[in-house]
């Protein structure tokens, strides 16, 4: 998702997550959680304004990720951004806000109002 954000925003994106060591895996008692796949699992990357990965790190390593970036890449990417496209056309896109209070949940026994 971070790669998409870099491309859509024509900006540099830094992303990092933690690495789960064997020691922390056992200490935190996460073995029974479905979403925990085991040790490792970290992810770090730097994406450029075109969505391209500039730097990545192996998922089982802990460290600091560095990259040299050219800030002019952002300017080049912004040239392709459609700032006057369909988002700027009120005849095609509008935002409506309902200021009346509403219930977020309706039960089958209760008639809708």
Per-residue confidence in pLDDT tens, the chain, 113 aa:
888 898 888 899 999 887 777 787 778 777 777 767 767 677 889 999 989 999 998 877 778 899 999 989 888 888 777 666 666 677 777 788 889 988 888 777 766 66
Predicted local distance difference test score (pLDDT) of residue 47: 95
Q: Is 67 contained in some domain?
A: yes
Q: What is the count of structural domains for the chain?
A: 1
Beta strands in 48-95 (DSSP E): 53-57
Nearest to 17 by CA among 42, 47, 53, 46: 42
* Domain span holding position 1: 1-80
Rounded Cα–Cα distance for residues 22 and 39 (Å): 6
Predicted local distance difference test score (pLDDT) of residue 104: 84
Predicted local distance difference test score (pLDDT) of residue 89: 72
Predicted local distance difference test score (pLDDT) of residue 87: 64
CB–CB of 46/57 below 8 Å? Answer: no
Q: Is 86 contained in some domain?
A: no
């Amino acid at each position: 998702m971070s790669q998409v954000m870099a491309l859509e925003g024509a900006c540099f994106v830094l992303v990092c997550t933690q690495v789960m060591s064997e020691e922390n895996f056992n200490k935190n008692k996460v073995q029974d959680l479905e979403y925990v796949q085991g040790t490792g699992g970290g992810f770090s990357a730097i994406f450029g304004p075109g969505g391209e990965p500039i730097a990545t790190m192996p998922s089982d390593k802990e460290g600091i990720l560095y990259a040299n970036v050219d800030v002019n890449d952002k300017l080049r990417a912004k040239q392709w951004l459609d700032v006057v496209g369909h988002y700027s056309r009120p005849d095609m896109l509008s935002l409506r806000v309902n200021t009346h209070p509403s219930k977020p949940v309706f039960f089958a026994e209760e008639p809708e109002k």
